[in-house]
Amino acid sequence: MKVFSKEPIRQIRKLNRMMKGEKEICIWYSKQDIDEYLGMLATVDRYKDKGIDIYLCDFTNICSSLRYVSNIGKFEPPPKKHLTKDECKAFVREWETIRDNSSHLRMMIAGEVKCFPEDHLDSDILEVMGDEVITPPVVYQRLFDKYPLFYNIILYRLRHLIEEGAITVIEEGFAEYRDEYEEGIEPYFPKTVLKRTI
């Protein structure tokens, strides 16, 4: 059974409350971050017929993801760009095409959103594991250049591969982890030790 977070729904409702009476919205995003790009497309689609002027602020040339902006130092934010009706329609068409695709995994490759089956990363995960005894963070580090910002999906696929019997859990545990880009401690950072099943 798949469990989906209700947090996106809560955030959408919060945004809707905040937007009451507003006449314009400016969406900040980086095209290198799939979540930010899809969020931009979905927001354009949501507000296209609400009588709201939509502006975009594209940070792609400044950072790979807006979560890293605070570490860049001083920079000049890109100018916001007002969406024309034709540009808005093009984004909505792109969003509808992506949304209607039944694939479970979406990735940004060479500036384009590509859709893949859910198990797309599995062969790469097993390859970087080799015959070693290894932890999930090391698996993620080895895949980072190819799949940056994919930590959660890599953990998800590791759990699936364990359930399938392709990976054996040698030792279980959790350790605190402090993310240098976000405040607070992640108490669920895995210390689990894994090995490919022979």
pLDDT tens for 30-74 read 998 888 999 999 999 999 988 899 999 999 988 888 887 766 777
CA 133 to chain centre: 28
pLDDT tens for 2-19 read 444 566 678 778 888 888
Residue 174 binned pLDDT confidence (cut-offs 50, 70, 90): low
134: β partners: 194
pTM more than 0.85: no
List, in order of start, the domains of the chain with CATH numbers.
Answer: 7-116 (no CATH), 122-196 (1.10.10)
Task: Report which residue type is found at 151.
Answer: Y
70 versus 138: the higher-pLDDT residue is 138
